[in-house]
Amino acid sequence: ETGVTQTPRHLVMGMTNKKSLKCEQHLGHNAMYWYKQSAKKPLELMFVYNFKEQTENNSVPSRFSPECPNSSHLFLHLHTLQPEDSALYLCASSQRDRTNYNEQFFGPGTRLTVL
Amino acid sequence: DQQVKQNSPSLSVQEGRISILNCDYTNSMFDYFLWYKKYPAEGPTFLISISSIKDKNEDGRFTVFLNKSAKHLSLHIVPSQPGDSAVYFCAASARYAGNNRKLIWGLGTSLAVNP
C-alpha cells in the first residue's frame, strides 16, 4: 500500500449505530487530519493530530470521536449520527516542520450515508 | 464568511486550448497558496503551489500566477487535455499559534475539457 488509504470506502448506517472510519498513511508523515466534505460547502477541517496528539478540534460535535494510536493510523468513531452528517469524510497527512507549508496528501475518502 | 473564493463553479474548454481557473482571497495573512485536483471517488491530489513572495510558478503545463495587491491567483493549464477534467480546489495557508498552519479551502471549480 502506498499513500493514504481509507476504509471503508462507503458506509450506510442508522442513527443508532456505532461505526468507525479508518485511515492509514504510508508516507512517514507526522500529522494527520480529518476533513468533512458536504455538498455546496468547502472542505471543513474537523481534527488535527500532530505527533499523535490532538492539536485541533474545530467545534466538532461529540458524536464524532477521533483516535490516533500512532503516527500512521487515524480513526474516526461515529455514534448516534444525524442525517445531516452524511458527507464524504477525507483523511489527510502531512509532514509538519518549520519549513513546511502544509501540503497535505489525501486518502480517497469514505462516503457516509446516515439514514 | 468565505476567506477563499472560487466564483466559477464550472468551466468548459476545448482540448488544446488554455484553461484559466481563478481564486480570490480576503485574508492578507495567507502566505502560501496551493491548487489541488480531485477526480470523482478519489481524494484531492496536490498539483502546484506558490509562495506569497513570488508572482509566478510553473510546472510543465501548469502555471500559477499570484497578484497579491488584488488578492487573486489563477491556475493556467495549457494545452488542456481531456484527462485534466476534474474539480480544482484552491487552498490558502496561514500560520497561527506559533508554528501551526491551517489550510482554508475554496469550493472548487469543475473543469471539463472537451475533445
Q: Which residues pair with A44 in a beta bridge?
A: A36
pLDDT of residue B52: 94
Q: How is chain A classified by DSSP, letter by letter?
A: --SEEEE-SEEEE-TT-EEEEEEEE-S--SEEEEEEE-TTS--EEEEEEETTEEEEE-S--TTEEEEEEETTEEEEEEES--GGG-EEEEEEEE---TT-----EE---EEEEE-
B57 touches A at CB < 8 Å: no
Query: Confidence class of residue B98 from pLDDT cuts 50, 70 and 90?
Result: low
pLDDT tens digits for A56-66?
Answer: 777 899 999 99
How wide is the angle at C-alpha A33 spanned by C-alphas B1 and A104, nearest 5°? 85
Nearest to A102 among B51, B89, B93 (CB): B93
Contact with chain A for residue B94, Cβ under 8 A = no
Using the Cβ of A37 and the Cβ atoms of chain B, whether some distance falls under 8 Å is answered with no
Nearest to A22 by CA among A14, A32, A31: A32
Return the residue of B nearest to A111 by Cα: B41
Hunting for cell 502546484 — which residue is that?
B48
pLDDT: which is higher, B111 or A52:
B111
- Three cell numbers, residue A19: 461505526
Q: Are B36 and B89 in contact (CB under 8 A)?
A: yes
- B16 phi-psi bin (left φ>0, alpha ψ -120 to 50, beta other): left
Is residue B45 over pLDDT 90? yes
Q: Does B106 touch chain A (CB under 8 A)?
A: yes
Helix, strand or coil, per DSSP, at residue B29: coil
Least confident of A34-48, B13-27, B58-72: A34-48
Residue numbers in A near B45 (CB within 8 A): 105-106
- Mean pLDDT on A60-74: 93
pLDDT reported for residue A41: 84
Query: What is each CA distance from A35 to A14, A51, B111, in whole angstroms?
Result: 21, 18, 23
Local confidence band at A42 (pLDDT 50, 70, 90 cut-offs): confident
Q: Say if residue A100's pLDDT is above 70.
A: no
